[in-house]
Structure 1
Amino acid sequence: MEVAVTDLTPAPAPPSPWTFGVEPLPETVEAAERLRQVIGLLLALEHPDPAVDALLAALDVAQRLLGRRVPADPAPRVGTAADGDGRVYLDHSRHIGAFNPCFPGYEIAVDGDRAEGTVNFPIAYEGPPGLVHGGFLALFFDAVIQHHNCDLGLAGKTAGLALRYRRPVPLRTDLRFVLARSADGPRIRTTGRLLAGDPAGDPAGDVVLCEAELDAVKGDRARLPDVSPRRAQS
Protein backbone atom coordinates (compact mmCIF):
# COMPACT_ATOMS: atom_id res chain seq x y z
CA MET A 1 0.00 0.00 0.00
CA GLU A 2 1.37 3.39 -0.98
CA VAL A 3 1.50 6.06 1.72
CA ALA A 4 1.03 9.65 0.68
CA VAL A 5 3.79 11.91 1.94
CA THR A 6 2.85 15.47 2.68
CA ASP A 7 5.48 18.09 1.93
CA LEU A 8 5.70 20.20 5.09
CA THR A 9 8.35 22.53 3.72
CA PRO A 10 7.07 26.06 4.33
CA ALA A 11 6.43 28.16 1.26
CA PRO A 12 9.01 30.87 0.72
CA ALA A 13 8.04 34.23 2.15
CA PRO A 14 7.08 36.83 -0.43
CA PRO A 15 9.80 39.41 -1.03
CA SER A 16 9.55 42.61 0.92
CA PRO A 17 8.88 45.63 -1.31
CA TRP A 18 11.86 47.69 -2.36
CA THR A 19 11.71 51.18 -0.84
CA PHE A 20 14.14 54.08 -0.77
CA GLY A 21 13.12 57.27 0.98
CA VAL A 22 10.31 58.37 3.28
CA GLU A 23 6.56 58.41 2.79
CA PRO A 24 4.95 61.65 1.57
CA LEU A 25 2.78 63.64 3.93
CA PRO A 26 -0.99 63.17 3.50
CA GLU A 27 -1.26 66.91 2.77
CA THR A 28 1.27 66.49 -0.06
CA VAL A 29 -0.77 63.66 -1.59
CA GLU A 30 -3.99 65.68 -1.44
CA ALA A 31 -2.31 68.75 -2.90
CA ALA A 32 -0.86 66.80 -5.85
CA GLU A 33 -4.24 65.73 -7.18
CA ARG A 34 -5.76 69.18 -6.58
CA LEU A 35 -2.88 70.85 -8.41
CA ARG A 36 -3.31 68.50 -11.39
CA GLN A 37 -6.99 69.42 -11.58
CA VAL A 38 -6.31 73.16 -11.28
CA ILE A 39 -3.63 72.98 -14.00
CA GLY A 40 -6.19 71.42 -16.32
CA LEU A 41 -8.69 74.17 -15.56
CA LEU A 42 -6.10 76.89 -16.17
CA LEU A 43 -5.13 75.38 -19.51
CA ALA A 44 -8.79 75.26 -20.57
CA LEU A 45 -9.54 78.86 -19.58
CA GLU A 46 -10.93 81.02 -22.40
CA HIS A 47 -10.52 84.52 -20.90
CA PRO A 48 -8.87 86.31 -17.95
CA ASP A 49 -10.73 85.54 -14.76
CA PRO A 50 -10.63 87.02 -11.24
CA ALA A 51 -10.37 83.47 -9.89
CA VAL A 52 -6.87 83.28 -11.34
CA ASP A 53 -5.90 86.50 -9.57
CA ALA A 54 -7.15 84.99 -6.30
CA LEU A 55 -5.21 81.80 -7.02
CA LEU A 56 -2.00 83.73 -7.68
CA ALA A 57 -2.45 85.68 -4.45
CA ALA A 58 -2.99 82.46 -2.48
CA LEU A 59 0.06 80.89 -4.11
CA ASP A 60 2.13 83.94 -3.23
CA VAL A 61 1.16 83.56 0.43
CA ALA A 62 1.82 79.80 0.37
CA GLN A 63 5.21 80.32 -1.27
CA ARG A 64 6.28 82.79 1.41
CA LEU A 65 5.05 80.65 4.32
CA LEU A 66 6.36 77.34 3.02
CA GLY A 67 9.67 78.96 2.16
CA ARG A 68 10.18 79.60 5.87
CA ARG A 69 9.44 75.99 6.81
CA VAL A 70 11.61 74.01 4.40
CA PRO A 71 15.40 73.72 4.52
CA ALA A 72 17.31 76.42 2.70
CA ASP A 73 19.51 73.75 1.10
CA PRO A 74 17.51 72.07 -1.74
CA ALA A 75 19.84 69.04 -1.93
CA PRO A 76 18.27 65.78 -0.60
CA ARG A 77 19.54 64.29 2.66
CA VAL A 78 20.89 61.09 1.09
CA GLY A 79 24.23 59.29 1.31
CA THR A 80 27.07 61.51 2.47
CA ALA A 81 24.55 64.34 2.90
CA ALA A 82 22.19 62.32 5.14
CA ASP A 83 23.27 64.29 8.22
CA GLY A 84 23.30 67.61 6.39
CA ASP A 85 20.82 70.47 6.28
CA GLY A 86 19.06 69.56 3.03
CA ARG A 87 15.52 68.45 2.34
CA VAL A 88 13.86 65.15 3.07
CA TYR A 89 13.88 62.65 0.16
CA LEU A 90 10.51 61.06 -0.68
CA ASP A 91 10.29 57.41 -1.71
CA HIS A 92 10.22 57.25 -5.53
CA SER A 93 9.82 53.46 -5.75
CA ARG A 94 6.09 53.57 -6.45
CA HIS A 95 3.11 55.88 -7.03
CA ILE A 96 5.20 59.00 -7.64
CA GLY A 97 2.16 60.68 -9.19
CA ALA A 98 0.36 60.35 -5.87
CA PHE A 99 2.54 63.10 -4.37
CA ASN A 100 4.09 64.84 -7.41
CA PRO A 101 1.64 66.35 -9.92
CA CYS A 102 4.38 66.39 -12.58
CA PHE A 103 4.01 62.57 -12.77
CA PRO A 104 0.87 60.80 -14.05
CA GLY A 105 -1.32 59.02 -11.53
CA TYR A 106 -2.37 55.40 -12.12
CA GLU A 107 -3.71 52.21 -10.50
CA ILE A 108 -1.70 48.97 -10.65
CA ALA A 109 -2.18 45.35 -9.53
CA VAL A 110 0.92 43.14 -9.34
CA ASP A 111 0.73 39.38 -9.84
CA GLY A 112 4.26 38.01 -9.83
CA ASP A 113 6.08 38.77 -13.08
CA ARG A 114 2.91 40.22 -14.56
CA ALA A 115 1.10 43.41 -13.66
CA GLU A 116 -1.75 45.41 -15.07
CA GLY A 117 -3.58 48.58 -14.27
CA THR A 118 -5.33 51.70 -15.49
CA VAL A 119 -4.36 55.29 -16.23
CA ASN A 120 -6.22 58.42 -17.33
CA PHE A 121 -4.05 61.30 -18.59
CA PRO A 122 -5.47 64.76 -17.78
CA ILE A 123 -5.02 67.92 -19.83
CA ALA A 124 -1.74 68.72 -18.07
CA TYR A 125 -0.07 66.02 -20.21
CA GLU A 126 -1.32 67.24 -23.59
CA GLY A 127 0.92 67.39 -26.66
CA PRO A 128 -0.99 67.37 -29.98
CA PRO A 129 -4.62 68.52 -29.66
CA GLY A 130 -6.49 66.14 -27.39
CA LEU A 131 -3.58 63.70 -27.22
CA VAL A 132 -0.89 62.76 -24.71
CA HIS A 133 2.63 64.07 -25.31
CA GLY A 134 4.92 61.15 -26.17
CA GLY A 135 7.47 62.17 -23.55
CA PHE A 136 4.90 61.67 -20.81
CA LEU A 137 4.30 58.13 -22.08
CA ALA A 138 8.00 57.38 -21.57
CA LEU A 139 7.79 58.85 -18.07
CA PHE A 140 4.66 56.80 -17.37
CA PHE A 141 6.18 53.49 -18.46
CA ASP A 142 9.39 54.12 -16.54
CA ALA A 143 7.34 54.81 -13.40
CA VAL A 144 4.94 51.85 -13.59
CA ILE A 145 7.62 49.34 -14.63
CA GLN A 146 9.91 50.32 -11.77
CA HIS A 147 6.86 50.25 -9.46
CA HIS A 148 6.32 46.65 -10.56
CA ASN A 149 9.99 45.82 -9.91
CA CYS A 150 9.97 47.45 -6.50
CA ASP A 151 6.81 45.63 -5.41
CA LEU A 152 8.60 42.34 -6.21
CA GLY A 153 11.57 43.37 -4.06
CA LEU A 154 14.14 43.49 -6.86
CA ALA A 155 14.79 46.72 -8.72
CA GLY A 156 17.60 48.83 -10.08
CA LYS A 157 18.56 51.74 -12.28
CA THR A 158 16.97 52.05 -15.71
CA ALA A 159 19.60 51.16 -18.30
CA GLY A 160 17.46 51.48 -21.42
CA LEU A 161 13.92 52.42 -22.37
CA ALA A 162 12.46 52.10 -25.88
CA LEU A 163 8.94 53.04 -26.94
CA ARG A 164 6.98 52.30 -30.07
CA TYR A 165 4.05 54.63 -30.66
CA ARG A 166 1.34 52.60 -32.37
CA ARG A 167 -1.60 55.02 -32.26
CA PRO A 168 -2.29 58.46 -30.78
CA VAL A 169 -3.07 58.25 -27.06
CA PRO A 170 -6.20 60.22 -26.07
CA LEU A 171 -6.45 62.49 -23.05
CA ARG A 172 -9.13 62.12 -20.37
CA THR A 173 -9.81 58.49 -21.32
CA ASP A 174 -9.60 55.40 -19.13
CA LEU A 175 -6.79 53.28 -20.56
CA ARG A 176 -5.37 49.89 -19.55
CA PHE A 177 -1.76 48.77 -19.37
CA VAL A 178 -0.14 45.35 -18.99
CA LEU A 179 3.45 44.53 -18.00
CA ALA A 180 5.50 41.33 -18.20
CA ARG A 181 9.03 40.98 -16.83
CA SER A 182 11.90 38.53 -16.50
CA ALA A 183 14.79 38.82 -14.06
CA ASP A 184 17.41 36.42 -15.44
CA GLY A 185 21.09 37.32 -15.18
CA PRO A 186 22.15 40.81 -14.10
CA ARG A 187 19.25 42.59 -15.84
CA ILE A 188 15.52 42.97 -15.32
CA ARG A 189 13.71 43.15 -18.65
CA THR A 190 10.11 44.31 -18.96
CA THR A 191 7.73 44.73 -21.87
CA GLY A 192 4.64 46.87 -21.54
CA ARG A 193 1.59 47.77 -23.58
CA LEU A 194 -0.85 50.65 -23.25
CA LEU A 195 -4.32 49.70 -24.48
CA ALA A 196 -7.58 51.41 -25.38
CA GLY A 197 -10.57 49.36 -24.32
CA ASP A 198 -12.79 47.60 -26.80
CA PRO A 199 -16.26 49.28 -26.84
CA ALA A 200 -17.81 45.82 -26.51
CA GLY A 201 -15.81 45.19 -23.34
CA ASP A 202 -13.82 42.30 -24.80
CA PRO A 203 -10.14 42.53 -23.66
CA ALA A 204 -9.13 40.56 -26.76
CA GLY A 205 -10.37 43.47 -28.84
CA ASP A 206 -8.34 46.13 -27.05
CA VAL A 207 -6.31 48.43 -29.32
CA VAL A 208 -2.57 48.74 -28.67
CA LEU A 209 -1.63 52.41 -28.42
CA CYS A 210 1.97 52.21 -27.26
CA GLU A 211 4.55 49.52 -26.52
CA ALA A 212 7.58 49.81 -24.24
CA GLU A 213 10.69 47.80 -23.44
CA LEU A 214 12.78 48.60 -20.37
CA ASP A 215 16.07 47.16 -19.13
CA ALA A 216 17.12 47.76 -15.54
CA VAL A 217 20.36 46.75 -13.83
CA LYS A 218 19.65 44.67 -10.74
CA GLY A 219 20.42 46.61 -7.60
CA ASP A 220 21.74 45.51 -4.21
CA ARG A 221 19.70 46.79 -1.29
CA ALA A 222 22.69 46.43 1.02
CA ARG A 223 24.51 49.06 -1.02
CA LEU A 224 21.76 51.67 -0.99
CA PRO A 225 22.93 54.92 0.63
CA ASP A 226 21.47 56.12 3.91
CA VAL A 227 18.37 58.30 3.76
CA SER A 228 17.62 60.75 6.55
CA PRO A 229 14.18 60.38 8.16
CA ARG A 230 11.94 63.34 8.81
CA ARG A 231 13.22 65.51 11.60
CA ALA A 232 11.25 66.49 14.68
CA GLN A 233 9.66 69.91 14.63
CA SER A 234 11.67 72.49 16.51
Structure 2
Amino acid sequence: MDGRVPAALVEETGRWTFGVEPLPEAADTAARLRRVAGLVLALERPDPALDELLGALDRAERALSRRVPADPAPRVGPAADGDGRAYVDHSRHIGAFNACFPEYTIDVDGSRATGTVNFPVVYEGPPGLVHGGFLALFFDAAIQHHNCEVGEAGKTAGLELRYRRPTPLLTDLSFELTRTVEGTRIHSAGRLLSGDVVLCDARVDAARGQRSRLPAVSPRRVP
Protein backbone atom coordinates (compact mmCIF):
# COMPACT_ATOMS: atom_id res chain seq x y z
CA MET A 1 0.00 0.00 0.00
CA ASP A 2 1.12 3.58 -0.64
CA GLY A 3 -0.26 4.91 2.65
CA ARG A 4 -3.71 5.61 1.28
CA VAL A 5 -6.82 4.30 2.99
CA PRO A 6 -8.79 1.58 1.14
CA ALA A 7 -11.91 2.77 -0.66
CA ALA A 8 -14.34 1.64 2.02
CA LEU A 9 -13.43 1.23 5.67
CA VAL A 10 -15.73 -1.56 6.86
CA GLU A 11 -15.89 -2.60 10.49
CA GLU A 12 -16.87 -6.08 11.64
CA THR A 13 -20.44 -4.89 12.04
CA GLY A 14 -20.70 -4.34 8.28
CA ARG A 15 -20.96 -0.56 8.53
CA TRP A 16 -20.28 1.50 5.45
CA THR A 17 -17.73 4.25 6.03
CA PHE A 18 -15.75 6.43 3.65
CA GLY A 19 -13.09 8.88 4.74
CA VAL A 20 -11.14 9.60 7.90
CA GLU A 21 -12.50 10.02 11.41
CA PRO A 22 -13.04 13.63 12.52
CA LEU A 23 -10.63 15.00 15.07
CA PRO A 24 -11.92 14.65 18.66
CA GLU A 25 -11.70 18.42 19.03
CA ALA A 26 -14.08 18.88 16.11
CA ALA A 27 -17.02 17.59 18.16
CA ASP A 28 -16.40 20.08 20.97
CA THR A 29 -15.93 22.86 18.44
CA ALA A 30 -19.16 22.09 16.57
CA ALA A 31 -21.26 21.97 19.73
CA ARG A 32 -19.80 25.24 21.02
CA LEU A 33 -20.22 27.03 17.70
CA ARG A 34 -23.92 26.08 17.58
CA ARG A 35 -24.53 27.23 21.14
CA VAL A 36 -22.60 30.49 20.81
CA ALA A 37 -24.21 31.29 17.44
CA GLY A 38 -27.62 30.87 19.04
CA LEU A 39 -26.66 33.23 21.86
CA VAL A 40 -25.36 35.84 19.40
CA LEU A 41 -28.64 35.69 17.47
CA ALA A 42 -30.55 36.30 20.70
CA LEU A 43 -28.53 39.38 21.78
CA GLU A 44 -30.55 42.53 22.32
CA ARG A 45 -27.59 44.94 21.93
CA PRO A 46 -23.81 44.92 21.31
CA ASP A 47 -21.81 43.34 24.11
CA PRO A 48 -18.10 43.39 25.06
CA ALA A 49 -18.13 39.59 25.19
CA LEU A 50 -18.95 39.56 21.48
CA ASP A 51 -15.99 41.82 20.74
CA GLU A 52 -13.77 39.39 22.66
CA LEU A 53 -15.21 36.49 20.69
CA LEU A 54 -14.56 38.17 17.35
CA GLY A 55 -10.98 38.89 18.37
CA ALA A 56 -10.43 35.28 19.42
CA LEU A 57 -11.93 34.04 16.15
CA ASP A 58 -9.66 36.34 14.15
CA ARG A 59 -6.62 34.97 15.97
CA ALA A 60 -7.77 31.38 15.52
CA GLU A 61 -8.43 31.92 11.82
CA ARG A 62 -4.96 33.31 11.25
CA ALA A 63 -3.28 30.49 13.18
CA LEU A 64 -5.31 27.64 11.68
CA SER A 65 -4.92 28.94 8.12
CA ARG A 66 -1.18 28.29 8.48
CA ARG A 67 -1.77 24.69 9.56
CA VAL A 68 -4.22 23.41 6.94
CA PRO A 69 -3.43 22.45 3.32
CA ALA A 70 -3.49 25.40 0.95
CA ASP A 71 -5.57 23.39 -1.52
CA PRO A 72 -9.18 23.08 -0.21
CA ALA A 73 -10.02 20.15 -2.50
CA PRO A 74 -10.34 16.75 -0.74
CA ARG A 75 -7.69 14.09 -1.25
CA VAL A 76 -9.98 11.53 -2.87
CA GLY A 77 -9.66 9.37 -5.99
CA PRO A 78 -7.18 10.80 -8.52
CA ALA A 79 -6.33 13.52 -5.98
CA ALA A 80 -5.57 11.08 -3.14
CA ASP A 81 -1.84 11.77 -3.45
CA GLY A 82 -2.33 15.50 -3.97
CA ASP A 83 -1.91 18.49 -1.71
CA GLY A 84 -5.54 18.92 -0.63
CA ARG A 85 -7.24 18.22 2.68
CA ALA A 86 -8.19 14.89 4.23
CA TYR A 87 -11.84 14.00 3.59
CA VAL A 88 -13.82 13.43 6.80
CA ASP A 89 -16.26 10.50 6.83
CA HIS A 90 -19.83 11.76 6.27
CA SER A 91 -21.57 8.40 6.69
CA ARG A 92 -23.03 9.15 10.12
CA HIS A 93 -23.40 11.82 12.82
CA ILE A 94 -22.20 14.69 10.62
CA GLY A 95 -23.64 17.19 13.08
CA ALA A 96 -21.28 15.86 15.75
CA PHE A 97 -18.30 17.49 14.01
CA ASN A 98 -19.87 20.06 11.66
CA ALA A 99 -21.98 22.80 13.24
CA CYS A 100 -23.81 23.38 9.94
CA PHE A 101 -25.58 20.01 10.33
CA PRO A 102 -28.22 19.11 12.93
CA GLU A 103 -27.40 16.72 15.78
CA TYR A 104 -29.65 13.75 16.51
CA THR A 105 -29.72 10.33 18.17
CA ILE A 106 -30.55 7.21 16.19
CA ASP A 107 -31.20 3.53 16.93
CA VAL A 108 -30.98 1.23 13.90
CA ASP A 109 -32.80 -2.10 13.77
CA GLY A 110 -32.32 -3.53 10.29
CA SER A 111 -34.72 -1.91 7.84
CA ARG A 112 -36.14 0.36 10.56
CA ALA A 113 -34.59 3.17 12.58
CA THR A 114 -35.89 5.54 15.23
CA GLY A 115 -34.38 8.52 16.97
CA THR A 116 -34.72 11.98 18.44
CA VAL A 117 -33.75 15.48 17.36
CA ASN A 118 -33.98 18.95 18.88
CA PHE A 119 -33.38 21.95 16.59
CA PRO A 120 -31.68 24.95 18.27
CA VAL A 121 -32.14 28.61 17.37
CA VAL A 122 -29.53 28.55 14.59
CA TYR A 123 -31.97 26.53 12.44
CA GLU A 124 -34.80 29.06 12.73
CA GLY A 125 -36.85 30.14 9.74
CA PRO A 126 -40.29 31.56 10.64
CA PRO A 127 -40.48 32.84 14.24
CA GLY A 128 -39.92 29.94 16.63
CA LEU A 129 -39.98 27.37 13.82
CA VAL A 130 -37.42 25.30 11.93
CA HIS A 131 -36.52 26.42 8.40
CA GLY A 132 -37.83 23.81 5.96
CA GLY A 133 -34.46 23.51 4.24
CA PHE A 134 -32.89 22.25 7.45
CA LEU A 135 -35.56 19.55 7.67
CA ALA A 136 -34.51 18.35 4.22
CA LEU A 137 -30.87 18.38 5.35
CA PHE A 138 -31.77 16.48 8.52
CA PHE A 139 -33.66 13.72 6.69
CA ASP A 140 -30.97 13.34 4.04
CA ALA A 141 -28.30 12.96 6.75
CA ALA A 142 -30.32 10.64 9.01
CA ILE A 143 -31.44 8.38 6.15
CA GLN A 144 -27.89 8.15 4.82
CA HIS A 145 -26.80 7.30 8.37
CA HIS A 146 -29.38 4.50 8.44
CA ASN A 147 -28.18 3.14 5.10
CA CYS A 148 -24.53 3.26 6.09
CA GLU A 149 -25.21 1.62 9.44
CA VAL A 150 -26.66 -1.48 7.73
CA GLY A 151 -23.78 -1.51 5.25
CA GLU A 152 -25.61 -0.64 2.04
CA ALA A 153 -25.60 2.97 0.88
CA GLY A 154 -25.26 5.18 -2.17
CA LYS A 155 -25.73 8.64 -3.59
CA THR A 156 -29.01 10.47 -3.05
CA ALA A 157 -30.98 10.46 -6.31
CA GLY A 158 -34.21 12.07 -5.10
CA LEU A 159 -35.52 13.82 -2.01
CA GLU A 160 -39.16 14.72 -1.40
CA LEU A 161 -40.66 16.33 1.70
CA ARG A 162 -44.22 17.07 2.72
CA TYR A 163 -44.57 19.66 5.48
CA ARG A 164 -47.67 18.76 7.47
CA ARG A 165 -47.29 20.97 10.54
CA PRO A 166 -44.83 23.72 11.52
CA THR A 167 -41.80 22.22 13.28
CA PRO A 168 -40.97 23.98 16.58
CA LEU A 169 -37.49 24.94 17.71
CA LEU A 170 -36.02 23.86 21.06
CA THR A 171 -38.40 20.91 21.30
CA ASP A 172 -37.62 17.22 21.71
CA LEU A 173 -38.95 15.51 18.60
CA SER A 174 -38.89 11.91 17.42
CA PHE A 175 -38.43 10.40 13.99
CA GLU A 176 -39.00 7.06 12.29
CA LEU A 177 -37.26 5.68 9.19
CA THR A 178 -37.89 2.63 7.01
CA ARG A 179 -35.98 1.37 3.98
CA THR A 180 -36.45 -1.14 1.17
CA VAL A 181 -34.12 -2.18 -1.65
CA GLU A 182 -35.24 -2.78 -5.23
CA GLY A 183 -32.57 -3.55 -7.79
CA THR A 184 -30.14 -0.67 -7.93
CA ARG A 185 -32.25 1.64 -5.74
CA ILE A 186 -32.66 2.15 -2.01
CA HIS A 187 -36.05 3.61 -1.09
CA SER A 188 -36.38 5.26 2.32
CA ALA A 189 -39.32 6.90 4.07
CA GLY A 190 -39.25 9.02 7.19
CA ARG A 191 -41.57 10.80 9.60
CA LEU A 192 -40.81 13.57 12.07
CA LEU A 193 -43.18 13.69 15.03
CA SER A 194 -44.03 15.77 18.05
CA GLY A 195 -45.71 13.24 20.30
CA ASP A 196 -48.24 11.54 18.02
CA VAL A 197 -48.48 14.50 15.61
CA VAL A 198 -46.69 14.07 12.28
CA LEU A 199 -44.83 17.28 11.40
CA CYS A 200 -43.09 16.22 8.21
CA ASP A 201 -42.88 13.24 5.84
CA ALA A 202 -39.82 12.47 3.73
CA ARG A 203 -39.00 10.12 0.88
CA VAL A 204 -35.45 9.56 -0.32
CA ASP A 205 -34.24 7.45 -3.23
CA ALA A 206 -30.57 6.52 -3.42
CA ALA A 207 -28.57 4.75 -6.09
CA ARG A 208 -26.97 1.68 -4.53
CA GLY A 209 -23.21 2.01 -4.45
CA GLN A 210 -20.58 -0.69 -4.78
CA ARG A 211 -17.79 -0.57 -2.25
CA SER A 212 -15.31 -1.95 -4.76
CA ARG A 213 -15.87 1.13 -6.92
CA LEU A 214 -15.34 3.71 -4.20
CA PRO A 215 -12.21 5.79 -4.78
CA ALA A 216 -9.24 5.69 -2.46
CA VAL A 217 -9.02 8.36 0.23
CA SER A 218 -5.88 9.74 1.82
CA PRO A 219 -5.33 9.52 5.59
CA ARG A 220 -4.29 12.51 7.62
CA ARG A 221 -0.62 13.22 7.17
CA VAL A 222 1.90 13.28 9.99
CA PRO A 223 3.64 16.68 10.15
TM-score (norm 2): 0.94
Q: Secondary structure at the match of 1:51?
A: helix
- Cα deviation for residue 15 of structure 1 reads 5.3
Q: Which residue of 1 aligns with 2:106?
A: 108
Q: Which runs of 5+ in 1 are unaligned?
A: 1-13, 198-205
Q: Measure, in 2, the Cα distance between the counterparts of 1:55 and 1:15.
A: 43
From 208, 212, 220, the equivalent of 1:222 is 212
- Cα deviation for residue 184 of structure 1 reads 2.2
- Cα deviation for residue 183 of structure 1 reads 1.1
Q: Secondary structure at the match of 2:83?
A: coil
Answer yes or no: is 1:80 the counterpart of 2:78. yes
- Cα deviation for residue 185 of structure 1 reads 1.3
Q: Measure, in 1, the Cα distance between the counterparts of 2:14 and 2:179.
A: 18
Q: Secondary structure at the match of 2:90?
A: coil
From 49, 55, 58, the equivalent of 1:57 is 55
Q: Deviations over 1:143-202 (max 9, x none)?
A: 0000000000000000000000000000000000000110121100011000002xxxxx
Answer yes or no: is 1:90 the counterpart of 2:88. yes
Answer yes or no: is 1:231 the counterpart of 2:221. yes
Q: Secondary structure at the match of 1:177?
A: strand
Answer yes or no: is 1:158 the counterpart of 2:156. yes
Runs of 4+ in 1 over 2 A off after TM superposition: none
Q: Measure, in 2, the Cα distance between the counterparts of 1:15 and 1:162.
A: 30
Q: Measure, in 2, the Cα distance between the counterparts of 1:39 and 1:158.
A: 30
Q: Which residue of 1 aligns with 2:37?
A: 39
Q: Measure, in 1, the Cα distance between the counterparts of 2:105 and 2:33.
A: 19
Q: Measure, in 2, the Cα distance between the counterparts of 1:28 and 1:213.
A: 30
Q: Deviations over 1:4-23 (max 9, x none)?
A: xxxxxxxxxx8510000000
Q: Deviations over 1:9-52 (max 9, x none)?
A: xxxxx851000000000111110000000000000000000000
Higher RCO (C-alpha 8 Å, min separation 6): 2
C-alpha RMSD over aligned residues: 0.8
Q: Measure, in 2, the Cα distance between the counterparts of 1:73 and 1:171.
A: 37
TM-score (norm 1): 0.90
Structure 1 or 2, whichever has the larger Rg, is 1
Q: Measure, in 2, the Cα distance between the counterparts of 1:126 and 1:177.
A: 19
Q: Which residue of 2 aligns with 1:203?
A: none
